[in-house]
Every structure is written in structure tokens, then in C-alpha cells.
């Protein structure tokens, strides 16, 4: 294949998804044993897209672990070894410290990763060639000293009055440019 041909990744198949679910179940059981805290296995979804390999999501009492089937297809073994326990550690913190606001990668999460015998790394550095990645539109904003490119999420939060962002250099509010 020459360098101009695009690499096309297909998402993991049902057999690989079953392997990921089993690995998630094993890590949840291990977390429950290590913390001496009973935990049910949360729903495992393969609906994540973009450049994120995994995500633990909690909304009230409902929670789930989401995985990106394209990134898992690109780096299956690495994700089984790192992403699955990473997300289970988030779930274990949520179960153990229910109703407490904790930093996502704070000391409680780092402790569980260490109990798992894994480095408490927050990001991965895998090639994402061939993985479909949604690109966010950027919006122009200005402060007292420069122009800023703001994501659609932040743009909508400011537009709806739910958030206010300050420039880290001049400490003035970001306002729409133009």
C-alpha cells in the first residue's frame, strides 16, 4: 500500500466486543475485591466516537462505561490492557465515593490504578490513522490582548449564559469577535 492510500479502520466485531465486556467484568470484580466494596458490572456500550478511547459516564444513579470501537480496532491489545482498567477505576471511584464530588483523575482514582498494578496515566498516545474523528467547529472570541479559538461546546455555554471564560494572560472575559 502506498502512502497516499487511506487506512480504513472498521470497528471491532462482536467477538472482540465480548472480550472487552469480559475484561470489564474482570476488572470490576477485581476492584470490588481490592476495595472490599460490592459493585455490579455497569452497562458496557460501544457508542463512543472521536479521539477518546473510553469514557465512564454517571448521571445520577445510572452509569455506564463507553468504548470507542474504532480506536479499539486500531489498538485492541493496548486498550484491553490500559483503557478498560482506566475506565473501571473511574467506575470504582464513583461506586466507592458515591455522592461526593471528586476530581476525575484525583488521588482516589490514582490509588485504584496503583492497586491494579498499572500506572495512573490520563492520556494515551496512539496513532489514530483511519479512525473517524469528528472535528469541532471553532468560534472566534477576543479578550483584552488577543484572539481565541473557542469550541462549539464553550461557545454555546457562553451564548446561553451558562459559563464565562477568562483569558489566562490578561484575565478579561472572552467576547465574540466581530
- Within the chain, all domains assigned CATH 3.30.2010 are found at 14-115
DSSP string, 93-131: HHHHTTT----TTSHHHHHHHHHTTS----------TT-
Q: What is the topology classification, in CATH, of domain 14-115?
A: Zincin-like (3.30.2010)
Tens digit of each residue's pLDDT, the chain (178 residues): 444 456 678 999 999 999 999 999 999 999 999 999 999 999 999 999 888 899 999 987 799 999 999 999 999 999 999 999 999 999 999 999 886 788 999 999 999 999 999 999 887 777 777 777 766 788 999 999 999 999 888 999 999 999 999 999 999 999 999 7
**In this structure, are residues 96 and 35 in contact, taking their beta carbons and an 8 Å threshold?**
yes
**In this structure, are residues 12 and 76 in contact, taking their beta carbons and an 8 Å threshold?**
yes
> Which H helix or E strand runs over 147?
strand 147-151
The confidence score (pLDDT) of residue 1 equals 44
The confidence score (pLDDT) of residue 4 equals 45
Amino acid at each position: 500500500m502506498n502512502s497516499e492510500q487511506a487506512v480504513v479502520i472498521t470497528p471491532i466485531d462482536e467477538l472482540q466486543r465480548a472480550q472487552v465486556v469480559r475484561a470489564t467484568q474482570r476488572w470490576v470484580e477485581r476492584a470490588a475485591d481490592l476495595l472490599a466494596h460490592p459493585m455490579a458490572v455497569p452497562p458496557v456500550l460501544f457508542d463512543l466516537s472521536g479521539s477518546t478511547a473510553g469514557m465512564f459516564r454517571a448521571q445520577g444513579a445510572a452509569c455506564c462505561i463507553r468504548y470507542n470501537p474504532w480506536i479499539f480496532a486500531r489498538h485492541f491489545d493496548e486498550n484491553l490492557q490500559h483503557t478498560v482498567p482506566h475506565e473501571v477505576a473511574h467506575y470504582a471511584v464513583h461506586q466507592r465515593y458515591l455522592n461526593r464530588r471528586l476530581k476525575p483523575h484525583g488521588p482516589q482514582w490514582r490509588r485504584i490504578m496503583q492497586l491494579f498494578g498499572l500506572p495512573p496515566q490520563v492520556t494515551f498516545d496512539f496513532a489514530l490513522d483511519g479512525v473517524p474523528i469528528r472535528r469541532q467547529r471553532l468560534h472566534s472570541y477576543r479578550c483584552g490582548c488577543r484572539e481565541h479559538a473557542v469550541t462549539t461546546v464553550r461557545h454555546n455555554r457562553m451564548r446561553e449564559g451558562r459559563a464565562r471564560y477568562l483569558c489566562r494572560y490578561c484575565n478579561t472575559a472572552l467576547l465574540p469577535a466581530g
